[in-house]
Amino acid sequence: MASARRYLVCEPRFFAVRYAINPWMHPDRPVDTALAQRQWRTLVDTYRAHGHTVERVEPVPGLPDMVFAANAAVVVEGRVFGSLFHAPERRPESVPYQAWFKDHGFDVHQPESVCEGEGDLVPAGRWILAGTGFRTTREAHREAQEFFGVPVISLTLVDPYFYHLDTALFVLDGENIAYYPEAFSPGSREVLKRLYPDAVIATRDDAMAFGLNSVSDGRHVFISPGATALADRLADRGYVPVPVDLSEFHKAGGGIKCCTQEIRS
């Protein structure tokens, strides 16, 4: 069942690939800023067409990755756990996002440990699935559990192409997920199998097409059009894939979910 969601996004006015902090990023590959703007606007329009509320934080010059709103925080029951980025280039992004949340009446917890928001902390019904291995630390997992009072389940990522949890896994609804098993350590794969025996399993091709950097409202799955096999599996399970092309953002290692912060009140 679909439910109305509230999303926070940031216009890619200053989007570019100026440095390399993941395997997708190559500063010598030009970014088509106009195309990125059109793709992003299509995503926003698609959310609104499906009944979701979309709010915007103003972009800041010199912060080319600020478009990836998911990395700025994680919000559970109206409580905001902010970010402390691993890369020095991205650390200034925390300030405008924190200001936006405060201006809108939220209290914001500033983490003491490296944490990259919903990139690695993924609320999943009764618990929070938490990635580590490349960016967010296990110390941040413990800090988030203390802050939210929600069980946090640590999962170790092992493939640098899937450096954030939201590139290897996404939540379909309150009971199930889709994920790419080989992005995780053997022990973490076993944990996911136990927690989600009926999960939708993605192939490496699906994952490399940013198919797991998707957003679900419980029925509609906003997904990269390149993840065709995964879209077919989702349709077989009764979900409705909604393809949205954010290919220009793949040059920076991001996609639909990276551009979307969910505000859970």
Catalytic residues: 164, 258
Distance (Å, whole) CA 26 – CA 103: 36
CA-CA-CA-CA torsion sign (131, 134, 137, 140): negative
The arrangement of strands across the sheet holding 220-223 comes to: 215-216, 220-223, 240-243
Calculated CA dihedral for residues 108, 112, 118, 123, nearest 10 degrees: -80
Contact predicate 120/131, CB 8 Å: yes
User: Strand pairing partners for 198?
Assistant: none
Contacts for 201-208: CB closer than 8 Å, 24+ residues apart: 201/233, 202/178, 202/227, 202/229, 202/230, 202/233, 203/229, 203/230, 204/180, 205/229, 206/180, 206/230, 207/161, 207/162, 207/167, 207/168, 207/180, 207/183, 208/161
Distance (Å, whole) CA 102 – CA 243: 33
